[in-house]
Amino acid sequence: MARDSYHHGNLKQALVDATVRLVEDKGPMAFTLAEAARLAGVSAAAPYRHFAGRDQLLEEVARQGYQDFAARLESAFDGGRPTALSAFVRMGQAYLQFAREKPGFYMAMFEAGLSIAGNAELSAASERAQSALVEAARALFARLPADRRPPATMVANHIWAMSHGVVELFGRGRPGGRSPASADEMLESGALIYLRGLGVIPD
């Protein structure tokens, strides 16, 4: 069995990469730190140079996932061009694309039961992603009279919850995946119905 044989000189990232593969194969709760070490090609003791335990390693996976996720959302919004609504729809598409392309990171972020508040760097990365959605929601309602604007954070959280539900039911082979509509179509139509009810889109 290979021991301390990684060649790229970055033990921490090697363990993160191995963990992502294990999460994709087994889920975020069904692997051990020793398995991550074995897959990374290092000794069972090596991970403790960087991580106190399995949960801390998963937190690093989630942190990196949130950083990528937030960057994708920010890029999709692109300052609200050409319109805040079209930018908002792109953000939904970016959400689904991230879940499809980075399932190991996605599961670590949302299905590992991690305490985000207990890790400052992870919390900051998560807040960056939420802030992107809040900014987009705020832009959506900028043209409405102040007394008709719903709380931007509430709207962002509703859209986040809807996106997550679509991923779980329609985007990852779950029971709802048999829908004749694609996950992208489900999310876009649901978001537009929701926004119409809030007055962003005229009847």
Q: Please, which pLDDT band fits residue 4 given cuts at 50, 70 and 90?
A: very low
Mean pLDDT for the stretch of residues 175-195 = 84
Q: What are phi and psi of 191, to 5 degrees?
A: -65, -40
Mind listing the pLDDT tens digit for each residue in 53-92?
A: 999 999 999 999 999 999 999 999 999 999 999 999 999 9
Assess whether pLDDT exceeds 70 at residue 3: no
Instruction: Supply the pTM of this predicted model.
Output: 0.90
- Per-residue pLDDT of 135-177, as tens digits, reads 999 999 998 899 999 999 999 999 999 999 999 888 766 555 5
User: Cα angle vertex 86, ends 174, 163, to 5°?
Assistant: 20
Domains of the chain with CATH codes: 1-51 (1.10.10.60), 55-197 (1.10.357.10)
Tell me what pLDDT residue 72 has.
98
| Mean pLDDT computed over every residue of the chain | 91
C-beta pairs of 144-149 under 8 Å, 24+ apart in sequence: 144/199, 144/200, 148/199
Contact 191, 162 (CB under 8 A): yes
Distance CA 167, CA 173 (A): 9
User: For every residue of the chain, which 3-state class applies, written as one string?
Assistant: CCCCCCCCCCHHHHHHHHHHHHHHHHCCCCCCHHHHHHHHCCCCCHHHHCCCCHHHHHHHHHHHHHHHHHHHHHHHHHHHCCCHHHHHHHHHHHHHHHHHHCHHHHHHHHCCCCCHHHCHHHHHHHHHHHHHHHHHHHHHCCCCCHHHCCCHHHHHHHHHHHHHHHHHHHHCCCHHHHCCCCHHHHHHHHHHHHHHHCCCCCC
